[in-house]
Amino acid sequence: MTRMNMIQAINSAMDVVMERDDGVTVLGEDVGYFGGVFRATAGLQKKYGKTRVFDAPINECGIIGVAIGMAAYGLRPVPEIQFADYIYPGMDQLISEAARLRYRSNGDFTCPITVRSPFGGGIFGGQTHSQSPEGIFTHVSGLKTVIPSNPYDAKGLLIAAIEDPDPVLFFEPKRIYNGPFDGHYDRPVQPWSKHDSSEVPEGYYNIPLGKAAVVRAGEAVTILCYGTMVHVALGVAQESGIDAEIIDLRTLVPLDIETIAASVEKTGRCVIVHEATRTSGFGAELSAQVQERCFHHLEAPIERVTGWDTPYPHSLEWAYFPGPVRLGQALKRVMKD
């Protein structure tokens, strides 16, 4: 075991799979010599050479399109999109090609790519360095979507994603790259080294995709969350004294509905939290599924605490970000009924 922050854990995941499988190939803007704008690929080019870790032109359509072709050849490409906000030029390749290749060719060709991309807000990133577009991709059949919330999970889930035979979107909450963040932007942030989940094995392990984690057991209410919001939820539960059961989804598609349903059937209440905008966000899917499966156990309406239906603002970030004040109020509302 070594203490790692999330970036080191992600770097270690790629290092471990590249060592084991010489088909694993990393490409993206600034990922090669420089080691990535967030340092996630630092040292990999030096260790594995330029034909396995290389810089790409600034062209997201090309990065993903080329990765699909490399996958069709038989490699396991790990393309990086520098910010999730810039994944849109690659959407046609992701949605029309990567997601459909196995289906449309009846398995003749497959696309085992893992698209890594930093996402989420809380860093004064403004409109184009803060977005959470996961709901756009969870709507696409054929794609898996994974979002870790701590270094241990980040490494285990990324190894599983790269080894997965199908395309995976791996969104990395950049707000918590260096330490967990509970939404109290006015308090000093602790580094990962003070946190248990920064104990990360140096070698190989994986965390299966499609399995949620109960990060806090509770009886009063179920909070469904992922990424940075896991830490916001943990903080609110502690401060409010409400005995919330907090579920870190980890994988959005395929969704671990059994763990979710078992929890809501026990607590009878459910609050869903995500940074992404509300309308048609992933929270709507979660809410619908909980309603369909747990209707007779529900004692209060399901609440969604999300980003507002606006572009992500710069100076008004903390009025937008679904932090402890908003989540705290939602929990109180749900508990009142």
Q: By CB under 8 A, which span of 34-42, 105-113, 121-129, 216-224 interacts with another protein?
A: 105-113
Q: Is 129 a catalytic residue?
A: yes
Q: Given the complex with another protein, which of 93 and 267 has the nearer CB atom?
A: 93
Q: Which of 39, 100, 211, 216 binds another protein (CB under 8 A)?
A: 100
- The residues in 136-155 that bind another protein, with binding defined as CB under 8 A, are 141-142, 144
Q: How far apart, in whole angstroms, are the C-alpha atoms of residue 334 and residue 224?
A: 14
Q: How far apart, in whole angstroms, are the C-alpha atoms of residue 258 and residue 262?
A: 6
Binding letters toward another protein, positions 45-64, x by CB under 8 A? ------xx---xx-x-xx--
Nearest Cα residue to 84 out of 178, 11, 174, 163: 174
- Residue 28, interface with another protein (CB under 8 A)? no
In the three-class reduction of DSSP (H, G, I as helix; E, B as strand; rest coil), residue 99 is classed as coil
- Residue 186, interface with another protein (CB under 8 A)? no
**Edge-to-edge strand ranges of the sheet holding 144-146:** 53-55, 24-28, 76-80, 114-119, 168-173, 144-146, 251-253
Q: Which of 107, 188, 203, 241 binds another protein (CB under 8 A)?
A: 107
Q: Which of 21, 124, 165, 316 binds another protein (CB under 8 A)?
A: 165
Reading phi first (left if > 0) and then psi (alpha if -120 to 50, else beta), residue 191 is in beta
Cis peptide before 324 (omega within 30 of 0): no
Q: How far apart, in whole angstroms, are the C-alpha atoms of residue 250 and residue 229?
A: 11
Q: Given the complex with another protein, which of 100 and 297 has the nearer CB atom?
A: 100
- Residue 65, interface with another protein (CB under 8 A)? yes
Q: List Cα–Cα distances, 277 to 42, 137, 253, in angstroms.
A: 33, 14, 18
- The residues in 232-291 that bind another protein, with binding defined as CB under 8 A, are 253-255, 257-258
- Residue 292, interface with another protein (CB under 8 A)? no
> Which residues partner with 221 through β-bridges?
244
Q: Given the complex with another protein, which of 100 and 266 has the nearer CB atom?
A: 100
Binding letters toward another protein, positions 204-233, x by CB under 8 A? ------x-----------------------
Look at the block and give the residue holding tokens 């969870």: 138
In the three-class reduction of DSSP (H, G, I as helix; E, B as strand; rest coil), residue 304 is classed as strand
Residue 73 C-alpha from the chain's centroid: 28
Q: Given the complex with another protein, which of 39 and 293 has the nearer CB atom?
A: 293
- Residue 96, interface with another protein (CB under 8 A)? yes
Q: Smallest distance from the beta carbon of 291 to another protein, in angstroms? A: 16
- Residue 166, interface with another protein (CB under 8 A)? yes
**What does residue 150 show for φ and ψ, rounded to 5 degrees?**
-160, 165
What is the total count of residues that contact another protein (CB under 8 A)?
A: 47
- Residue 311, interface with another protein (CB under 8 A)? no
Q: How far apart, in whole angstroms, are the C-alpha atoms of residue 120 and residue 126?
A: 11
Residues taking part in catalysis: 129
Residues that bind another protein (CB under 8 A): 25, 51-52, 56-57, 59, 61-62, 65-75, 77, 89, 92-93, 96-97, 100-110, 141-142, 144, 165-166, 210, 253-255, 257-258
